[in-house]
Amino acid sequence: MPATLSSQDVVALFQRFVIGNYTRYPVCLVRGEGSSVWDAEGNRYLDFFPGWGCDLLGHCPPRIVEAVREQAGKLIHVPNTWYTEAQGLLAQALSERTGWGGQCFFCNSGTEAVEAAIKLARLYGKPGRYKIITMVNSFHGRTLGALSATGQPKYHQGLEPLLAGFNYAPFGDLAAAARLVDNETCAILVEPIQGEGGINVPPAGYLPGLRELADKHNLLLIFDEVQTGMGRTGRWFAHQHWDVQPDVMTLAKALSGGIACGAMIAKPQVAEKLRPGTHAATFGGNPVACQAALATIETIEAGGLLERAERIGTFFRQRLGALKARCPSIQEVRVKGAMIGIELSLDGTRMVNRCLERRLLINCTHGTVLRLLPALTLTDAEMEEGCGILEDVLLTDKP
Ligand SMILES: Cc1ncc(COP(=O)(O)O)c(C=O)c1O
């Protein structure tokens, strides 16, 4: 069915009525299925970055659509003054998959999950400790607490003064993190793999080393798994690759298969610091989001999608590794499951635009890193199709 308004009509609406805080492509998307999306004119795009990492199962995964439809017909939202089965079952399902018995607080986004973790760390640190060590080039969200935690000055500009107490260590540098600990430090907050910072995989020993450092000084170790969680890297949570446990973990993005949902999961002895009145989120843990998350977990398990993430990673590692040998502008290829970064020696935005012309959707982060966060349902044929376009674009680039 054709859309009622053309892409151009919709762009005109945005120009008048929507605040211009995003750089948008002049395309109005109207429908999606798996790794394909269609615009108002009926053009199909292959999506290697579905929903900024939220659509881990592709667009409109049938089991999620069904779960949302069914729940929406029964009960859409009730506040956290009541119990709901879906929230209880989701907390159990997540806790069981952590392997360290976490308890959950639910919210609606990644930045909210990080805010909850910051508050929990400060409550844990009482009396006297409030400082949190985070990493250079990290990304934790846009609300002022999470933004202060984010170790990228470009995002702080114009918003100072930030929340006090954040100190940044270079990612991967254990000694630098250790030097930042003082008697006011209460926590270390780190992405197991930096996402927005350019798909930076930690060196061996780094995450276990942070665990040791945290234990030595009685600090909370908080893993921000908003981008890496829910099977993206081939394990439920990326930290499970390194056999290390956090005290607190944050989730969002892919948690509910594309429906807004966030969570902070904490070990019970830490979680108990959040008493009634200390924190809340009106929509957090609503039954629609929780049913979507339960359906997401079910779909990942039924479809063997953790293994599929590994397979996707192997495919891209081989294909892009071979391309690197032929393409001088590729500096490095970094892959962990379905989390893929291609570091270029040139501006990546131009490549994103050239891919868009060929109807392949990708992302550029950190200026020079092409970032792909494909759906775990991406087929072999779609991987071939998209890699073919990427190869063409990168091999024929003339600045
Ligand atoms: C690691 C990490 N934490 C937090 C966030 C913020 O999530 P949201 O945009 O849902 O607030 C992001 C978003 O990209 C992220 O990658």
Active site residue 119: no
pLDDT tens for 264-276 read 999 999 999 999 9
**Which of the residues 139, 166, 223, 316 is marked catalytic?**
139
Q: So what's the pLDDT on residue 398? A: 77
Of ligand 1's listed atoms, the one at least distance from the Cα of 143 is 11
User: From the CA of 110, how far away is ligand 1's center (Å)?
Assistant: 4
The DSSP symbol for 227 reads T
Q: Is 253 a catalytic residue?
A: yes
Query: pLDDT tens digits for 153-187?
Result: 999 999 999 999 999 999 999 999 999 999 999 99
| DSSP output for 66-103 | HHHHHHHTT-----TTS--HHHHHHHHHHHHHHSS--E
Percent of the chain with pLDDT over 70: 99
Q: Which of 276, 259, 251, 289 is nearest to 77 (CA)?
A: 289
Give 312-340 pLDDT, tens digit per residue: 999 999 999 999 999 999 999 999 999 99
Residue 2 has pLDDT above 60, yes or no: no
* Mean predicted confidence (pLDDT) in 205-209: 98
Q: Is 185 helix (H, G, I), strand (E, B) or coil?
A: strand
What residues have CB less than 8 Å from 296, skipping those under 6 apart?
56, 57, 61, 64, 230, 254, 255, 256, 257
Q: Best of 140, 171, 232 to mutate for ligand 1, by most ligand atoms within 8 A of CB?
A: 140
Told to judge if 324 belongs to the known catalytic residues of this protein, a careful annotator would answer no
Q: Quick one: pLDDT at residue 1?
A: 54
pLDDT band of 294, cuts 50, 70, 90: very high
Pocket of ligand 1 (CB under 6 A): 109-111, 114, 139-141, 191, 195-196, 224, 226-227, 252
C-alpha 281/C-alpha 79 separation (Å) is 9
Q: Is 284 helix (H, G, I), strand (E, B) or coil?
A: coil
Residue 6 neighbours by CB under 8 Å, 6+ apart: 28, 40, 41
DSSP state at residue 375? -
DSSP letter at 136 equals B
Catalytic residue among 48, 224, 315, 336: 224
Distance separating alpha carbons of residues 268 and 95, to the nearest angstrom: 11
The SS3 call for residue 203 is coil
252 C-alpha to center of ligand 1: Å? 7
Predicted confidence (pLDDT) at residue 393 exceeds the cutoff of 60: yes
The rounded distance, in Å, linking the Cα atoms of 215 and 19 is 45
